[in-house]
Amino acid sequence: MAPSEKKASLDGGKAATNTSGSINLRHDDAPAFYIDPKVEARLRLKIDFMVVPTVSLLYLFCFIDRANIGNAKIAGFEKDLGLTGYDYNALLSIFYISYIIFEIPSNIACKYFGPGWWLPGISLGFGAISLATAFVDNFAQAAGVRFLLGMFEAGMLPGISYYLSRFYRRSELTFRLALFIVMAPMAGAFGGLLASGILTLDRVGSVTSWRMIFVVEGIITCGLALISFLTLTDRPASARWLTPEEREMAEARVRAERVGQTAVLDHMDKKKLWLGMTSPVTLSTSLIFLLNNVTVQGLAFFAPTIVRTIYPRETLVMQQLYTVPPYVVGGFFTLLLPLISWKIDRRQIFLIASAPLTMVGYIMFLASVNPSVRYGATFLIAASLFCLGPISNGQVSANVVSDTARSSAIGLNVMMGNVGGLISTWSFLPTDAPNYHIGNGLNLATSGGVLIVATLVLFWMNYDNKKRDGRNSEEELAGMTVEEVQDLDWKHPDFRWKP
C-alpha cells in the first residue's frame, strides 16, 4: 500500500510520520485507518498461504509425538517396559510437569529470539526426543524422555499463537489459530491411521512393534523442523515474500487496533508481561482452558484404551482405526466455529456454547454401557472440545494490547490449559476400567464448570465496558508521557473488553 493510500487523523487532523513513511501515532491520537478491503483481502490470503501451512504441520507432529504413546500402549508398550499399576499414568504426568514449568519461559524466549528461529529449533528438539523414545527399555528411561519431550513441546502452542498475532487482526486471529489447532484432532485421526499402517510392517531398521511408531514419526518431525528454518519469518517486516508496500500494510493494519501503542513490536519489559498475565479476561479464560483441557488431553491419551473397552473383540489395527472418525468430526467443528467467530468478531459466546454438548456426551457415557451409545458419545465430545483451543487463545490475545502482554497472556493461557492436561493423566485409572465412572464424572464436572465461568465472565465484560464508557480519557491521560500511556495496556481508559 502506497503512503497515499493510508489515512490517519489526530484530534487536530495531523499525523506524525517517520522518514520511512509509516505512521507513528501519539497516545492522544484517534486514528481513522483505511485500507481498500480488496487489497487487504489479497494480503491476508498471501499471509495465509505462506505462514499457516508450516506452523500447522509442525503442530500436527507436535501433537502426534505427544499422543502416540496412547497408540503404543495398546501395541505392547506397557508389557515390554514392565509397566504395572499406575506407571502409565505417571509417565503421562511427567510430560506435563516439564510442559507446565517451561510454558511461559518458552514464550518469553520466543519473543526474545524470534519465532522464526525458536519454533523450528524446539520442533527439531521434540522430534529427536520422539525418535529416542523408540529405544527406551524401562520406566526410568521412558520417564526421562517424556520429561524432555514436555520441555521442548511446551513452547509450540503458545509460540505459534503469539507468532500469528503478529500477522493478523483481532477478528481474523481466532480462525487462523483454528487452522493450526485443528491439527490436534487431526493428529488423533492421522495418528491412528499412521500407527495402524506402521504396525502392519515387519520392522523399521532394527526396531519392531510399537517402537516403529516412534522411529517413523520422529524422523518425519525432524525433517519438517529443518524445512521450517527456511520457511518461517519472524514478522511481516522481515517477510521476504511480501513487497515493501505489503510489509508496511501488514504492520499498519495490526498496529491500528492497539490502543495507545506506536509500534507492532514493543520492547519487552516486566510491567507489560505482568499486565498480560493479570488481565481479568486472561485469568478467567485460562481457567476455562484448564477445565477444557482435562477432557481434551484425556481423550488424546486414552481414546485408544476407551475404544478397546467398547470393541474388545476387534483386531489391534481395527481398534486403532476406530479412534479416527470422532477426531475427523472434531476437526470439522474446530474450523467451523472459529470461522463463524471471525465473521461476527465474537469469542465468549462460543466458550459458553461448547459446554452443553460435551456434558451430554459424558452423561451418555455414565448412563449407558451399550457400545453404540458410548462410541456415539465420543463424536459429541470431540465436536465441542477442540474449538476452545483457538477460541480461548484468540480471546486472551484480543483483550490485551501490546505485543509483550500478548506473549505472556497466551503463555499463561496455554500453561493453565496444560495444568488441565496434567489432571487428565489421572482421570482414567486402571482400577476404574472398563466403564471409567470416575473419569467420565470428572469430565462432566469440568464441562459444567466451563459453562458457569464463561457465562459469568460475559456478563462482567459487558458491565465493565459500561463503566469505562463513563470515564474521561483526556483527564486521565493528561500529563502522561507516551511511554507511560503505552504501559497502561488494557488499563488504558479508551480500551474496551472484546467479548
Instruction: Please report whether residue 373 resides in a domain.
Output: yes
Residue type at position 23: I
Omega into 434 within 30° of 0, i.e. cis?
yes
Dihedrals phi, psi of 168, to nearest 5 degrees: -120, 150
Given this model, what pLDDT does residue 133 score?
Answer: 93
Dihedrals phi, psi of 86, to nearest 5 degrees: -95, 15
Instruction: Please report whether residue 27 resides in a domain.
Output: no
Tell me how far apart the alpha carbons of residues 285 and 142 are, in angstroms, rounded to a whole number. Answer: 33
CB 172 within 8 A of CB 390: no
Residue ranges making up the domain that contains 369: 35-491
Tell me how far apart the alpha carbons of residues 133 and 419 are, in angstroms, rounded to a whole number. Answer: 24
Round the average pLDDT of the chain to a whole number and report it: 83
- Reported as a pLDDT band with limits 50, 70 and 90, residue 265 is low
Given this model, what pLDDT does residue 10 score?
Answer: 27
CB 482 within 8 A of CB 26: yes
**With a threshold of 0.85, does the pTM exceed it?**
no
Give 20's DSSP letter: T
Q: Number of folded domains in the chain?
A: 1
Instruction: Please report whether residue 13 resides in a domain.
Output: no
Instruction: Please report whether residue 81 resides in a domain.
Output: yes
Q: What is the mean pLDDT of residues 367-373?
A: 85
Is 322 a residue whose pLDDT tops 70? yes
CB 421 within 8 A of CB 103: no
Q: What is the mean pLDDT of residues 343-372?
A: 90
Tell me the CATH number at 76. 1.20.1250.20
Given this model, what pLDDT does residue 271 score?
Answer: 85
Is 459 a residue whose pLDDT tops 90? yes
Tell me how far apart the alpha carbons of residues 216 and 193 are, in angstroms, rounded to a whole number. Answer: 13
Instruction: Please report whether residue 50 resides in a domain.
Output: yes
CB 347 within 8 A of CB 339: no
Q: First-to-last CA distance in the chain?
A: 31
Instruction: Please report whether residue 377 resides in a domain.
Output: yes
DSSP 331-386: HHHHHHHHHHHHHHT--HHHHHHHHHHHHHHHHHHHH---HHHHHHHHHHHHHHHT
In the numeric block, which cell numbers belong to residue 138? 524401562
Residue type at position 243: T
Is 458 a residue whose pLDDT tops 90? yes
Q: What is the mean pLDDT of residues 90-119?
A: 89
CB 389 within 8 A of CB 296: yes
Q: What is the dihedral of CA 429, 431, 437, 438, to 10 degrees?
A: -50
Angle at 445 between CA 396 and CA 438, to 5 degrees: 130
Instruction: Please report whether residue 238 resides in a domain.
Output: yes
Is 209 a residue whose pLDDT tops 90? no
Give 3's DSSP letter: G
Instruction: Please report whether residue 496 resides in a domain.
Output: no
Tell me how far apart the alpha carbons of residues 444 and 437 are, in angstroms, rounded to a whole number. Answer: 10
254: nearest Cα among 384, 401, 448, 42: 401
